[in-house]
Chains A and B, each alone.
Chain A
Amino acid sequence: DQQVKQNSPSLSVQEGRISILNCDYTNSMFDYFLWYKKYPAEGPTFLISISSIKDKNEDGRFTVFLNKSAKHLSLHIVPSQPGDSAVYFCAASDASGTYKYIFGTGTRLKVLA
């Protein structure tokens, strides 16, 4: 049973436009969410996070939105750049204190120049 779902395996966006990556979760105990970016042949790197007490967190071109009632979060990248082309994973954790995260299956973003 996939507790964290990324239903879009891939997404293509023109350079300069907005990229919106979506993530849904089923466990209402999740209280912390992260986005990671992964380039081929490299490990994932942390991008941005959000706590369940917030509904928005912004860091430069990256903004994460959290809708707890819908159990949905999204990552907005504005403006999109070719260097943003990568696989994006969302991850969720409950308050168990061990920082165990459940990862989604990833969305491959391609930013077209």
Chain B
Amino acid sequence: QVHLVQSGAEVKKPGASVKVSCKASGYTFTTYYIHWVRQAPGQGLEWMGRINPTGGSTTYVQKFQGRVTMTMDTSTSTVYMDLSSLRSEDTAVYYCARDGVSEFFQHWGQGTLVTVSS
């Protein structure tokens, strides 16, 4: 059974960085991309980018280029999403998601609330 377990909620000040983790289990880690999707309070879903666990190549949405970094640790089947220069508009629930036979999101983590507030 596929599980994606994310790290806990974070409160950060504007200008700081946050690193959210996503530990995968129940499948061969290197077989599927891991994506990050965020959801601001009361808002819709926004895709941020993805990492290919085979080799670690990344694709980021242009909006987040220069502020987001996705990395992985294959020894623990964990993916990390680092977002820097935080502003209040980054307050959101951040989800990791594993794709399926194509780039729809078949399995989701439980979400991590990141609150940016002075």
Same complex: no
